[in-house]
Amino acid sequence: MGEVKPVGIAMSEQLSAMSEALNASKDGFAIWRVKHNSHNEISGFDLLFINQAGSAPTGREPEALIGHELTDVVGAEQSEGLHKLFELALKDGEPKTEIVKVESPTGWTGLYENTVVPFGTDEVMTTFRDVSEERREHQRLVWLTEHDYLTGMPNRAKLESYLAKCLEVAKHDGSLAAFVYVDIDYFKNVNDTYGHDIGDRLLASFAKRIRHSLPESALVARIAGDEFAIVLEDLRDRAHLADLMDEVFRAMQRPFNHDTPDLTITCSAGAVLTDGSEKTPEVMRFADKVMYQAKYEGRNKYLIDVRLASK
């Protein structure tokens, strides 16, 4: 038979092995014990154990933190939220998870997922995991579903969602909104003459010029190819919309220099001024019809269709 070790020694070795395993983890891990005041209310939490990953944001070794109160370990700003999370986990008797932003003096910045697991009535175990990269990837994927990769502008899906909300607002508060289709005239000639690389650069510059010529509140989107769309809110009347369209067309009069001999273009646009009485597909259909009417009439112009319930 093998040597039987005393219980105390065996337990000590198990705790030592567990500590080594936790210190090898990239996730932070800590155990906290409740402190009570004279009224038996929770007044704080003392640190019983923390691994290397958990102590790293503080810039101190685990040994320098163990035995200290929550505020001393993570700082006053971070401790307030953690204290509430610890109390909630103990009160409900179930794990709680929260995403927190950390900006530590040692340069640890980003989003971290704190999971608090209560055990017993006066201790909680916490894990501390960096989810910054996961969140960035999630945000990137969301951005890609809503934006055009070439111009960086919102795409059709984002546009239709935004337009629907604007029409609802206009209908509710009696304001005016506008939807505009803008199309580059004879864009195919640019690709055929200068190549698709120049064509792509022209599209990106064209989108930026529209964006810069309009109020910050305007949404500018690329629908497909050389077709763009604009959503405008809080318009006073038709003249206000016409003034904004004049700004867009003036911006297009300057040459687009992309290693080409003064490349110039014109565009055609169809705008619908509405009080929200029309649905999104109808507003877009009316604008498309008006834009093609502008092309039919010779291009390099815009036309406005007024669609008001009181009209």
Question: What residues pair up with 50 in beta bridges, in sequence order?
Answer: 30
| Whether 123 contacts 33, CB under 8 Å | yes
305 carries an active-site annotation: no
CA-CA distance, 16 to 48, in Å (whole number)? 14
First to last CA, the chain: 99
DSSP helix/strand/coil, 112: strand
Whether the CA torsion 152, 158, 162, 164 is positive or negative: it is: positive
Alpha-carbon 303 to chain mean position = 35
Reported as half-sphere exposure (CB side, CA atoms, 13 A), residue 305 has a value of 22
At 200, list the tokens. Answer: 């792509």
Give the type of residue at 17: A
Q: Which of 130, 148, 226, 288 is catalytic?
A: 226
Active site amino acids: 226
